């Protein structure tokens, strides 16, 4: 059975309509932050096991950025919300 993402604008849609951007927990550093802080922000990523939040773009749908909470082990999707509504942007 296909994995479904419950887009808050379009309803349940197959995951193939989305593009994954990555970890939604990473905070953008200040413009005058150190080179190390920017390097870490741009290039370094954890590979979490279990439940976490990611940015997903509904590329073949409403074209909105979502924050999707899912489990990287079971692929279960727990929640999806509009990133802009949470004050989060990619």
Chain residues that interact with Zn ion, rule: CB under 5 A: 7, 9-10, 58, 61-62
**What is the 8-class DSSP label of residue 17?**
G
Q: Closer CB to Zn ion, residue 48 or residue 61?
A: 61
Q: Closer CB to Zn ion, residue 7 or residue 53?
A: 7
Quote helix, strand, coil % in the chain, to nearest 5. 15, 35, 45
| Minimum CB–partner distance for residue 10 and Zn ion (Å) | 3
Around Cβ 28, how many Cβ atoms within 10 Å? 11
Q: Closer CB to Zn ion, residue 58 or residue 70?
A: 58
């Amino acid at each position: 059975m296909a994995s479904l993402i419950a887009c808050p604008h379009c309803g349940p849609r197959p995951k193939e309509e989305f593009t994954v951007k990555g970890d939604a927990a990473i905070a953008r550093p200040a413009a005058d932050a150190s080179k190390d802080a920017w390097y870490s922000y741009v290039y370094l990523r954890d590979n979490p096991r279990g439940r976490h939040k990611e940015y997903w773009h509904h590329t073949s749908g409403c074209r909105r950025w979502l924050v999707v909470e899912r489990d990287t082990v079971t692929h279960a999707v727990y929640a999806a919300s509009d990133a802009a509504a949470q004050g989060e942007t990619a």
